[in-house]
Structure 1
Amino acid sequence: MRNEELIPADEICVRYQVERQFVSSLYESGIIEIVTVQETEYIHCDHLAEFEKMMRLHKELDINLEGLEAINHLLKQIQDLQKDNVRLKNRLGLYE
């Protein structure tokens, strides 16, 4: 993992105007991943979109952490079902 792909968690808190506890809660819930390098916590740039989505849901719709966990779980299930659907369509295409 390259350092230029890592964003300091404190910088994210400042830019998005969220509390550090919110970022920690998302990490503890398994919604985002935090990498620790030399006692500094970072969020990988691949998880930034997930963080932004959860932050917007929390701020704009006032959804609590438990609701964010449920939404995240359901979104992952939808993605898995969509992948299965594509896979099955591809298999079906072989027999047509």
Structure 2
Amino acid sequence: MNLEDLIPTDEICTRYKVERNFVHALTESGLLHTVTVQKITYVHCDEISEFEKLRRLHYELDINLEGLEAIQNLLSQVKKLQNQNVALKNKLNLYE
């Protein structure tokens, strides 16, 4: 993992005007993945769009952490079902 692809959580908190506790809670619940290098906690740049989505849900729609976990779980189930649907359609096309 390249250090250039990592963003310090302190910078994220400053840039997005969120509390450190929010980022920590997301990490503890498994909604956000962080990496610690030399006592500094980072978020990979690929995780930023997910963080932005969770931040909007929490701060703009006032959804608590448990609600964020439920939403994330439901969205992952929908994505899994969509992938299965595509796979089944592809199999069906083979027989037509």
Same fold (TM over 0.5): yes
Partner of 1:88: 88
Partner of 2:75: 75
Partner of 1:48: 48
Give the Å deviation of 1:14: 0.2
Give the Å deviation of 1:25: 0.4
For 1:3 and 1:78, the matched residues in 2 are separated by 33
Residue type at the aligned position of 2:48: L
Name the SS for the 2:36 alignment partner: strand
Aligned-pair identity (%): 64
Q: Structure 1 residues 84-93 or 12-21, which shifts more?
A: 84-93
**TM-score normalised to the size of structure 2?**
0.97
For 2:4 and 2:86, the matched residues in 1 are separated by 34
Aligned length in residues: 96
**TM-score normalised to the size of structure 1?**
0.97
Partner of 1:65: 65
What is the aligned-residue RMSD (CA, Å)? 0.6
